[in-house]
Chains A and B, each alone.
Chain A
Amino acid sequence: MIAGKTQFKRLEQYKDRWSSFGTGTGIIDISEKPTPEVLKQYPLFKEFDDKFLERISPDVSIARWERNAVLFEEGSYIDIAFFVVSGEVEVSFQKQSSGTEQLPIFSRSRTMFAEAGGAQAPTGRGKTVFQAQVDRQKRGTSIAFLTSIDFDLPSDGTLKLGPGEILGEIGAMSGWPQSVTARTSTRSELVQIRVAALRMMRKRSSALKNRLDSLYRERALSSQLKTTPIFSSLGDEFVQSLVQSVELVSCEPDEVIAREGEPCDALYLVRSGFVKLSQRLGEGSIVVSYVSKGSVLGDAELLIDGIGSWIHTATSKEYSELVKISRVDFTRLLARYPGVESGLWSSVVNRLKEAGNSKRVIRQSEFIDTALNKGLVEGNSILVIDLSVCTRCDDCVRGCADTHEGIPRFVREGDKIGNFLITRACYHCEDPVCLVGCPTGAIRRADVGDVVAIDEKICIGCTTCANNCPYDAITMFDTGEKWPEDMIPEGLRGKDKQIATKCDLCYQDPAGPACVRSCPHGCAFRVGDVKEFKSLLWKEVGA
């Protein structure tokens, strides 16, 4: 069924990729690939040379927005930072509309580990992104340090940002959803910079880095520290002094953060990204563990007397952001708030245990390395097939296809780990990069848990999400139809209609994913996270 013009009305303003973040009409005009001369008119770019500006220009644009236009909404994923040139932007918590209670899509009831009738654990709806995260933390997940707070706003409060202010950069850089809604309160001119260019600019300009860091300290860090369980006992005054004294560290992929054997001088809190921990073994080294956002690094070294130096080499696996608390500050913190130490011990013990196991069972080390390389660490729901039980009947694929109008949403191919096949089905990632840059907002978090789904009615087949997905879990499907002659954007009119398709975890079906339900031998199952996967693998090898 081809959608009519009205269905695509909302696309009207999306004249190019730069308007992808807008959720309402509002762009008056937009420049793409501005020349160095144009960019130099703005104070932000004055310190850069022409060659550098030429390099980043494809990722920079200048746009004029109508009054009351929504730049981004709370909970949305963007890869753009906005610099206000003129006008005013208002940021606020916009409570999501109350809806039905969420189905716990990633609860154990959706994985093979489920007990029948697994407990329901409703989350989130009717709450701000921030509040939802706090609740998640209270439910006892491993998140120790919140990251997705862009603004330290009071609930229902608003903040006006005028010329020279920056917004959106924290969520964009860390890959987390925006915690606020931003809307122009007057007609505004904004410089819009994509993350790739922003990273390059920040690396090149210490002034810009300092400015972004200082904004992070001012807007987010104190809230993050105060809402982090292990630091909840800290007084306001102490938090403020800590906010000013910590160092904010940004790492490139494969950058070494700490080297085994070198003196440990700080505690690191991971804001975003994954950090691989490896240890020397014989002539080489093995991966013993990893830490991700919300985790702490350097705790064992600072807490256990007599260690003093790093027991692992810590390497950033991707772009990572960390908060570095110096040894002096940390010692001061422990002296004043001894309760913090007990909070850190459990993570120390777990990591040391994991490191010990990895050295004892090399397969564990290999698995962690593979999990990091293959992105399993990102997954909320990974479709795994036990090949030693699978009869290759393909009923999982048929079940999927039959449930989705004849088009399967995954491929029964992929990497093998042990006897397990990691299929090319959406992992429903913690930080779904596929959401970034969708020009129509067709790919989004569904109203259920963390499911990532595509609204086929508004997908225009631009392939952005498919290209963004690192795991080839999104495929383009040729509908065999043509786009209608009144289609917007105009460029698509009369062309073959392709749409993106991916696993939606059958979230609208209370019986769960069709692939799992259709498997006659119970060898297709969903693994909720990498820890479940590991325990499964261990069971197989009897380790």
Chain B
Amino acid sequence: MRINDLIPFRWVQDPRWLLAFVIGTLVCIVTFVANLLIAEINSGNWWGITYGTVATLLMLGDVLYAVRRRFLEYNLGKSKTWVQFHLYGGTLFAILVLMHSGFRLPVGTMNWLLWSLSIWVTVSGLVGVFLQRWIPTVLASGLSTEVVYDRIPELVAQIRARSEAMIEECTETVRDFYRTNLAQSLAVPQLRAIYYVDVTGGIQTKLRQFEYLRPLLTKDDREKLESLESMYRTKLELDAHYTLQRPLRWWLHTHVPLALALVLLVALHLYAVLVY
């Protein structure tokens, strides 16, 4: 199957991995049912230990993706393959953790921590996947500019500087308009929740104020106003990028540190199980 045939399925980037995950989940279910019929549900017997071991191995595989990102220069396979493993393997990990705990709430502080961290890390990961699928579609749907997130403050500063330089050459009417209606908006990148609902964030409405002013100006000022309008439109689009790209970065803070904590706790858990 050619990859470009799959492009429209933005939510499932590679159906082969989904298929593998479904098969893995079915195997888990069948195994767990067999476990129910044959033996006691207990994290300490061979069934439970096997669930825990497979879950640990999957977790270690998932962690390797973070390591792989540090070594992009080496030919360690496509990043996309690693991500798919990270995603589906991580979800399967959570299922195996639940099987390991017998689908019961854990007892004891350590077990609570392990269980809740496992669930948290998995859910935050899935939230990240949702954001990564949803936000790019929104960004691509209505914005004409494309920008790297980290450059937004710098670009906004450039726009502000150019606007202010231009305003100096305009009549008092335009200057007044700029000070009253635009200066504050052009000062810094702004976060606006409206972009999550409407990516254009009412840009047309905001630009209408230019229409009211235009007939009152001289030809020279009208040309400057047009440039100003264009810069303002770009700034609003940068705000949309700033607002929408932000969660794509920030969700990582809810996922990565706790995932690292989970790895440490699992190591401690293994030590405790093996030694005591």
Residues of chain A whose beta carbon lies under 8 Å from any beta carbon of chain B:
112-113, 115, 386-395, 398-399, 402-403, 412-414, 416, 419, 421, 509-511, 514, 517-522, 535-536, 539-540
29 example contacts (A-B, Cβ-Cβ < 8 A) are as follows A112-B3, A113-B3, A388-B141, A389-B13, A389-B136, A391-B132, A391-B135, A391-B136, A392-B136, A392-B148, A392-B248, A394-B148, A398-B72, A399-B72, A399-B79, A402-B72, A402-B73, A403-B72, A413-B146, A413-B147, A413-B148, A511-B75, A518-B72, A520-B80, A520-B83, A521-B80, A522-B14, A536-B7, A539-B7
The residue on B at minimum CB distance from A536 is B4
- Residues of chain A lying within 8 A (CB to CB) of residue B219: none
Nearest-CB distance from A406 to chain B (Å)? 10
- Contact A517/B79 with A113-B4, A391-B248, A539-B4 known, Cβ cut-off 8 Å: yes
Q: Are B72 and A522 in contact (CB under 8 A)?
A: no
Considering the chains assembled together, what is the distance between the CA atoms of A416 and B77 in angstroms?
29
Considering the chains assembled together, what is the distance between the CA atoms of A421 and B147 in angstroms?
11
Question: In the complex, which of the residues A402, A403, A521 contacts B132, with contact meaning CB atoms closer than 8 Å?
Answer: A521
Interface: B140 (CB within 8 A)? yes
- Residues of chain B lying within 8 A (CB to CB) of residue A517: 72, 75, 77-79
Considering the chains assembled together, what is the distance between the CA atoms of A192 and B165 in angstroms?
48
Interface: B149 (CB within 8 A)? yes
Interface: B144 (CB within 8 A)? yes
The residue on A at minimum CB distance from B7 is A539
Q: Kindly list 16 other residue pairs between chains A and B, CB separation below 8 angstroms, not including A399-B73, A514-B73, A539-B8.
A: A112-B4, A113-B3, A386-B7, A388-B140, A394-B148, A395-B72, A395-B79, A398-B72, A403-B72, A416-B144, A419-B140, A509-B75, A511-B75, A517-B72, A517-B79, A519-B80
The residue on A at minimum CB distance from B133 is A389
Nearest-CB distance from B203 to chain A (Å)? 17
Nearest-CB distance from B252 to chain A (Å)? 10
Interface: B181 (CB within 8 A)? no
- Residues of chain A lying within 8 A (CB to CB) of residue B73: 399, 402-403, 514
Nearest-CB distance from B138 to chain A (Å)? 9
- Residues of chain B lying within 8 A (CB to CB) of residue A388: 10, 136-137, 139-141
Number of residues in B with C-beta < 8 Å to the partner?
Answer: 34
- Contact A392/B79 with A412-B148, A419-B140 known, Cβ cut-off 8 Å: no
Nearest-CB distance from B255 to chain A (Å)? 14
Q: Are B13 and A522 in contact (CB under 8 A)?
A: yes
Considering the chains assembled together, what is the distance between the CA atoms of A509 and B73 in angstroms?
10
Chain B 94-150 interface residues, beta-carbon cutoff 8 Å to A: 132, 135-137, 139-141, 144, 146-149
Nearest-CB distance from B120 to chain A (Å)? 21
- Residues of chain A lying within 8 A (CB to CB) of residue B136: 387-392
Considering the chains assembled together, what is the distance between the CA atoms of A268 and B202 in angstroms?
52
Contact with A along B1-23 (1 / 0, CB 8 A): 01111011010011000000000
- Residues of chain A lying within 8 A (CB to CB) of residue B75: 509-511, 517
Interface: B245 (CB within 8 A)? yes
- Contact A522/B140 with A394-B148, A403-B73 known, Cβ cut-off 8 Å: no
Considering the chains assembled together, what is the distance between the CA atoms of A540 and B6 in angstroms?
10
Considering the chains assembled together, what is the distance between the CA atoms of A392 and B3 in angstroms?
21
Interface: B69 (CB within 8 A)? yes
The residue on A at minimum CB distance from B71 is A402
The residue on A at minimum CB distance from B131 is A391
- Residues of chain B lying within 8 A (CB to CB) of residue A421: 146
The residue on B at minimum CB distance from A515 is B72
Nearest-CB distance from A416 to chain B (Å)? 6
Interface: B178 (CB within 8 A)? no
The 6 closest A-B pairs by CB, nearest first: A388-B140, A402-B73, A399-B72, A511-B75, A520-B83, A522-B80
Contact with A along B58-76 (1 / 0, CB 8 A): 0000000000010111010
- Residues of chain B lying within 8 A (CB to CB) of residue A113: 2-4
- Residues of chain A lying within 8 A (CB to CB) of residue B14: 522
- Residues of chain A lying within 8 A (CB to CB) of residue B135: 391
- Residues of chain B lying within 8 A (CB to CB) of residue A412: 148
Output the residue of B13, B69, B72 with the most chain A CB within 10 A: B72
- Residues of chain A lying within 8 A (CB to CB) of residue B147: 413
- Residues of chain A lying within 8 A (CB to CB) of residue B149: 392
Interface: B82 (CB within 8 A)? yes
The residue on A at minimum CB distance from B78 is A517
Considering the chains assembled together, what is the distance between the CA atoms of A387 and B138 in angstroms?
10
Nearest-CB distance from A436 to chain B (Å)? 31
Nearest-CB distance from A515 to chain B (Å)? 10
- Residues of chain A lying within 8 A (CB to CB) of residue B137: 388
- Residues of chain B lying within 8 A (CB to CB) of residue A386: 7
Chain B 169-210 interface residues, beta-carbon cutoff 8 Å to A: none
- Residues of chain B lying within 8 A (CB to CB) of residue A115: 2
Question: In the complex, which of the residues B13, B71, B140, B245 contacts A521, with contact meaning CB atoms closer than 8 Å?
Answer: B13
Nearest-CB distance from A398 to chain B (Å)? 6
- Residues of chain A lying within 8 A (CB to CB) of residue B139: 387-388, 392
- Residues of chain B lying within 8 A (CB to CB) of residue A514: 72-73
- Residues of chain A lying within 8 A (CB to CB) of residue B144: 416
Q: Are A520 and B79 in contact (CB under 8 A)?
A: yes
Considering the chains assembled together, what is the distance between the CA atoms of A59 and B150 in angstroms?
45
Considering the chains assembled together, what is the distance between the CA atoms of A403 and B79 in angstroms?
14
Output the residue of A514, A520, A539 with the most chain B CB within 10 A: A520
- Contact A519/B4 with A398-B72, A403-B72 known, Cβ cut-off 8 Å: no
Considering the chains assembled together, what is the distance between the CA atoms of A395 and B71 in angstroms?
11
The residue on A at minimum CB distance from B69 is A395
Considering the chains assembled together, what is the distance between the CA atoms of A421 and B145 in angstroms?
10
Considering the chains assembled together, what is the distance between the CA atoms of A390 and B75 in angstroms?
22
Considering the chains assembled together, what is the distance between the CA atoms of A514 and B72 in angstroms?
8
- Residues of chain B lying within 8 A (CB to CB) of residue A394: 148
- Residues of chain B lying within 8 A (CB to CB) of residue A403: 72-73
- Residues of chain B lying within 8 A (CB to CB) of residue A520: 79-80, 82-83
- Residues of chain A lying within 8 A (CB to CB) of residue B245: 392
Nearest-CB distance from A5 to chain B (Å)? 32
Nearest-CB distance from A450 to chain B (Å)? 23
- Residues of chain A lying within 8 A (CB to CB) of residue B71: 402
Nearest-CB distance from B100 to chain A (Å)? 29
- Residues of chain B lying within 8 A (CB to CB) of residue A540: 7-8
Q: Are B146 and A522 in contact (CB under 8 A)?
A: no
Nearest-CB distance from B155 to chain A (Å)? 11
- Contact A387/B80 with A509-B75, A521-B13 known, Cβ cut-off 8 Å: no
- Residues of chain B lying within 8 A (CB to CB) of residue A391: 132, 135-136, 248
Chain B 6-61 interface residues, beta-carbon cutoff 8 Å to A: 7-8, 10, 13-14
The residue on A at minimum CB distance from B245 is A392
Considering the chains assembled together, what is the distance between the CA atoms of A113 and B4 in angstroms?
6
Considering the chains assembled together, what is the distance between the CA atoms of A395 and B248 in angstroms?
14
